Amino acid sequence: MGQALERKCMAEPLVDTVTIGKSMVELPTNSMRDQVNSPESVGITIREANEDDLRPLEDFLARPDIDSLFSPPLSDPVRGITIHERVQRKFNEGVWVIASREGKVVGCMAVVPSKLSTNVPQSDPEHGIQVSDGISFSGWEVDRIMELSTVVTDPQTKATLRVKGMGTELLDKAKEWTRREGQGKWGLVTDSWVGGGMGEFIDKLNTRAYMNWCRQNNQEPVLDNGYFETIVRVYSDPNKRGPNGPATVVYGIPIEARDWNFFTGNKVDIMQTQQVYNRLNQA
């Protein structure tokens, strides 16, 4: 969602996600340094977008400082879709959840149907698919898998207003929509790229939710290096990232008890997929 994030075992930001240097933001004064504000306290509203929001959303994503946070940039022809087409298509296919302030969009994520196959495709070096690893979704008892897309929050807004929690609230609203529209029968994933920051963000929020779920169900939590890992796919993605771009990585986002049980039951394969990620990130 738009900040510099570090993932375990590598350097890496936020889904499709973002890194920003200090030179790109206005740093707070010493008197503000310890102050942290919630989105609501500075007039930021988290909500589902309507048609009137599409133009401001397009303007936000087209800002050079936001566009450049994605890999490759959203405006790069290699993606095969313009920013205008992206905004409209994802609105038609699912929902945009936005953070808005004073009539401007300062953060967003889309929830749309995932195109991931049930089983892990074979690698295909002749067509640029050098890597393809992960777990099968055949045991995930969901009617449909939805995917977070185009996730970013405005680093300048967060820095100048000292806002924390915008990404978390966007994700909570996206999960709420998925649960409601899917009547509790849809699964949720998100993707980033090797070296991107979504993994750290998702790890933290999934782990927090997992600990709460364990307490509510009187279960003993089982964590790996202090986190509940849900990395489910790592694969070369030349059509999306370009022929020399980083591999795409997919993370699960548990919502229902069924999801926690699925990811827990695939713990061994998930950790093997994490090892593939680590090797690619260190290459």
Of 7-16, 64-73, 265-274, the least confident:
7-16
Question: Residue 33's pLDDT is what?
Answer: 55
Write down the pLDDT at residue 34.
65
- Per this entry, what is the length of the chain? 283
Each domain of the chain, given as residue ranges in start order, spans: 6-21+38-282
Encode pLDDT of 99-131 as tens digits: 999 999 999 999 999 999 999 999 989 888 899
Residue 46: which of 157, 150, 155, 174 has the closest Cα? 174
Residue 197 has pLDDT above 50, yes or no: yes
Residue 30, pLDDT > 80, answer no
pLDDT of residue 8: 38
Of the options 3.30.1330.10, 3.40.630.30, 3.30.930.10, 3.40.50.300, the CATH number for the domain spanning 6-21+38-282 = 3.40.630.30
DSSP state of 37: B
CA angle in degrees (0–180, nearest 5) for 137-141-171 = 80
Please report the pLDDT score of residue 5 as a whole number: 34
Helices (H), 18-109: 54-62, 64-67, 83-93
Of 42-46, 49-53, 218-222, the range with the lowest mean pLDDT is 218-222
Q: Mean pLDDT across the stretch 128-135?
A: 93
pLDDT recorded at residue 39: 97
Question: Can you tell me the mean pLDDT for 57-67?
Answer: 98
Determine the Cα–Cα distance for residues 185 and 83; give it in Å rounded to an integer. 31
Residue 58 binned pLDDT confidence (cut-offs 50, 70, 90): very high
- Tell me: pLDDT of 16 over 90: no
User: What's the pTM value of the predicted model, to 2 decimals?
Assistant: 0.85
Average pLDDT in the chain: 89
pLDDT 10s digits, 225-264: 889 999 999 999 998 998 889 999 999 999 999 999 999 9
pLDDT beyond 50 at 51: yes
* Mean pLDDT to the nearest integer, 264-270: 95
Segment (H or E) for 48? strand 45-48
CA angle 254–208–142, rounded 5-degree value: 5
